[in-house]
Structure 1
Amino acid sequence: MLSSAGTKVRVLVALLLAAVLLLAACSSGESSSGAAARDLCSPPGPGSATAAPTNVEVGSETTVDRYTTDSVIPLDQIDTSRLNLITPGVLTVGTLTDAPPSICINSENQFSGYDNELLKAIAAKLGLQINFVGTEFTGLLAQVAAHRFDVGSASIGTTDERRDIVGFTNSYDFGYNSLVAPTDGPIQGFDDLNSSTRIGVVQGTQQDDYVRNTLGLDPVEFPDYATLYANLLSGQIDVWVAGSPQAEGIVEPGDPMSVVQNSFIPDNVAAWAVAKENQPLIDALNSGLDAIIADGTWARLYSDWEPRPLPESWKPGSKAAPTPDLPDFAALAALNPQNTTEIPAAQPKSTLQQLKDTFFNWDLYVRAFPDLLK
């Protein structure tokens, strides 16, 4: 139960948030020169390439490929009238709003992000329209299984437990589990975590499962990424176990937080979720994925949205899909000043400064606003 003082703080924060949002709504439409004017859901481009992480947990790159299909049905043999879609001719997709660069809403109020742009390209190959619907990750797989959505698009890690609920396409992305912690804090790796560490995760994600079942620890669950990161910045939790795309998209240069270690595990490849019994739709999406790999669309979108080297043990699509022709991201990363400039160590902040940085950080409100409307 919350104490009286804790309740008052929460009420004050809620009032401050309401005031900030009201002022924004009543403004004349002028954009500031700060984060409010920056599109948080836009492709950073190949110029923002990063090298493969050097702080990967030892022994974590071993993988066994059990589910990737050997080949796909040729695209011209896909009968889109037999895909069991909720609305014929329309792919209804459940997705998220606040996890750039993978899944997010851009400055034009359109669902975008790397995962969804890939899906738009596949829908075009299949001659389907696409309709995105925002939801929370916690209930997404159940909604796909119950045919509320044809597809779930949210950088979904293909764990065996999830395969008991839904079916999956071939993978289109990989990821590391990233440990985000104070840059110069005492926690610098997964081995530093213990039962007294307040570990933040987004509820129902692969990272939630990883902390519980691989690390054997009890995390603090949050409904969305913006709320979680705000609590990390304010010191309410000690660390965040994140998917690497989300960590890279939310943690910015100059923040007092950084990715202190990564872990690559077989379950952390991303695929689209489909109802288990709807094999025709899974086959169609697999065919579309191989088609956009073959024509270079996958490589272009990947280079724009997530420019980083592929692990040696992984490539997108079926086993028959060609290996994507990608730029030398390591060389591009070496030319990127952001990757070579040393960021000064963050100085300890007072409680008032932490509150200012967290609750008056317009960037966080922009990320959280679609969920607040719910």
Structure 2
Amino acid sequence: MKKSALKWLTTVPVAVALAVSLAACGGAATTGTGSPTDALAGSDQVSLDKYTTKDVTALEKIDKAALGLIVPGTITVGTLSDAPPNIFIDKSGKFTGYDNELLRAMAEKLGLKVEFKSTDFAALLSQVANKQFDVGSSSISTTDARRKSVAFTNGYDFGYMAVVAKTDAAVKGFKDLTKDTRIAVVQGTVQDDYVTNTLKFEPVRFSDYNTAYANLKNGQVDAWVAPSQQATGQVKDGDGTAIVESVVNTQNFTAYAVNSGNKPLTDALNSALDAVVADGTWSKLTKQWYPTRVTPADWSPGSKAVTVPKG
């Protein structure tokens, strides 16, 4: 199989924190989300290969008039503004980050423009399902539960999950989390589901990454279970915090969300993804945004037909 199984919670070296300047604002946690479904249920490797397409349509055969875009010629994208290095707004006001720059490159292959609009993660998938956005871009883990409401492209990235804590805290990893630990998560994320349904703890839910991290720094929570990419974008020297454990999660690859009724757009994005993998753009952007990260040898992006160029 193109993407062979990796053990969930396989410990990897913690990535070096990126020096990204952020304005972390305070704020109150949201209330509980009821009974979210287990994000990891049914997401074994057989399922992943089932969802990864065998091949894609040739770019020149894509009918741009049939893509069902909200604005013809433009992909309207819902994304986040506060989750570097994946999805954020830079100092010039530009939506950027690994996920968004990759999507820009894919749109260029299709001869389309991209317009990004900011939203909260908890609302993003429903907004794609309701056709407020053509695409959702937010390092979205492609769980079976989420596939009930939206469609996904082939995977463009694998995931990490991290525990962030104060440097002098007793929490040094996932094994130290207990029912008495005040655990921050962003509402509606895989981390929310993991803490709630797998660990069976009640987390403190926040609407965005900035606020979750700010509440860790000020001591309102004891730990933050976060996507490792976003954790590296938040933690800075002098914060008194650290990524105490980071683990590989390839069981749910990350992909762009598309309305489940818009197969032409999903197919077109899959074609564009294979194109940017084949020409080296995916590798270039991955190195640019994740300079210290090691990609698992048995994981690769795009369809089963495309190969990441060596070198």
TM band (smaller chain): 0.7 to 0.9
Which residue does 2:66 correspond to in 1?
82
Q: Partner residue of 1:254? A: 238
Segments of structure 1 that go 5 or more residues without pairing to the other structure are 1-34, 41-59, 327-374
1:298 matched to 2:294 = no
Given candidates 261, 265, 274, the residue that maps to 2:249 is: 265
AA partner of residue 154 (structure 2) = N
**Bigger proportion of residues as helix:** 1
Superposition pairs of residues 222-241 of structure 1, within 5 angstroms:
222-241=206-225
Flag the structure with higher strand content. 2
Q: In structure 1, what is the equivalent of residue 296 of structure 2?
A: 311
What amino acid is the match of 2:307?
A: P
CA spacing shift, 1:324–1:212, aligned 2, 3 Å = farther
Shift of 1:73: 0.8
Q: Is the 8 A contact 1:157 1:267 kept in 2?
A: no
**How far apart, CA to CA, are the structure 1 residues paired with 2:21 and 2:169?**
32
CA distance in 2, matches of 1:257, 1:169: 35
Q: Which residue of 1 aligns with 2:83?
A: 99
Q: Residue 307 of structure 2 aligns with which residue?
A: 322
- Give the total of aligned pairs: 273
Question: Are residues 133 and 170 of structure 1, via their aligned partners in 2, closer, same or farther at CA, if it must alter by over 3 Å?
Answer: same
Name the structure, 1 or 2, with higher relative contact order (CA <8 Å, separation 6+): 2
Report the CA distance between 1:129 and its aligned residue. 1.0
Distance in 2 between the 1:36 and 1:209 partners?
A: 28
What secondary structure does 2:236 align onto?
A: coil
How far is 1:276 from its partner?
0.8
2:222 counterpart letter in structure 1: D
Displacement of 1:253 in angstroms is 2.7
1:108-147 alignment, distance < 5 Å: 108-147=92-131
Give the letter aligned to residue 67 of structure 1.
Y
Matched to 1:195, the amino acid is: K
> Structure 1 vs Structure 2: percent identity of aligned residues?
54
For residues 36 and 158 of structure 1, what CA distance do their matches in structure 2 show?
27
Deviation at 1:216, TM superposition (A): 1.5
Q: 1: CA distance between counterparts of 2:61 and 2:21?
A: 46
Which amino acid in 1 is paired with 2:262?
N
Q: 1:36 to 1:61 in 2, by over 3 A?
A: closer
Q: Once the 2 structures are TM-superposed, how far is the Cα of residue 320 of structure 1 from its aligned partner?
A: 1.1
Indicate the residue corresponding to 1:242 in structure 2.
226
After the TM superposition, which segments of 4 or more aligned residues of structure 1 sit over 6 Å from their partners?
35-40, 60-63
- In structure 1, give the amino acid aligned to 2:302: G
Provide Cα deviations, 1:1-23, integer angstroms capped at 9, x if missing partner. Answer: xxxxxxxxxxxxxxxxxxxxxxx
Alpha-carbon distance in 2 for matches of 1:285, 1:128: 11
- The amino acid that maps onto 1:134 is S
Amino acid paired to 2:297: E
Deviation digits for residues 157-206 of structure 1, max 9, x if unmatched?
A: 11111111100001111121101112232111211111111000011111
Alignment of 1:27-46 (within 5 A): none
Give how far 1:298 is off.
Answer: 0.9
Q: 1:193 to 1:61 in 2, by over 3 A?
A: farther
Using a 3 Å threshold, how does the CA distance of structure 1 residues 36 and 137 change in structure 2: closer, same or farther? closer
> For 1:63-78, what aligned pairs fall within 5 Å after superposition?
65-78=49-62
The alpha-carbon distance between structure 1 residues 209 and 87, as it changes in their structure 2 partners (threshold 3 A), is same
Query: How much has 1:39 moved relative to structure 2?
Result: 11
1:125: Cα distance to partner? 0.5
Conserved? CA contact 1:63–1:313, under 8 Å = no
1:186 is the counterpart of 2:170: yes
Asked if the contact 1:158–1:269 (Cα under 8 Å) also holds between the matched residues in 2, the reply is yes
**TM-score, normalised via structure 2 length:** 0.83
Q: Deviations over 1:277-314 (max 9, x none)?
A: 11110100000000011111111111111121111331
Task: Specify the SS of the correspondent of 1:174.
Answer: strand
Deviation for aligned residue 1:257:
1.2
Gap change, CA 1:72 and 1:202, over 3 Å in 2: same
Report the counterpart of residue 150 of structure 1 in structure 2. Answer: 134
Between 103-112 and 248-257, the greater mean CA deviation after superposition: 248-257
Contact (CA 8 Å) 1:299, 1:325: kept in 2 or not?
Answer: no
- Secondary structure of the residue aligned to 1:235 is coil
CA distance in 1: counterparts of 2:309 and 2:190, whole angstroms = 26
Q: Larger Rg: 1 or 2?
A: 1
Q: What are the superposed Cα offsets for residues 36-78 of structure 1, whole Å, 9 maximum, x if unpaired? A: 98999xxxxxxxxxxxxxxxxxxx9999533111111111111
Aligned to 2:40: none
Q: With structure 1 as the length reference, what TM-score do the two structures score?
A: 0.69
SS of equivalent to 2:140: strand
Tell me, in whole angstroms, the C-alpha distance in 2 between the residues paired with 1:128 and 1:116. Answer: 14
Distance 1:119 1:104 in 2: 14
RMSD between aligned alpha carbons? 2.3
Q: Which amino acid aligns with 1:212?
A: T
Report SS of the residue matched to 1:241: strand
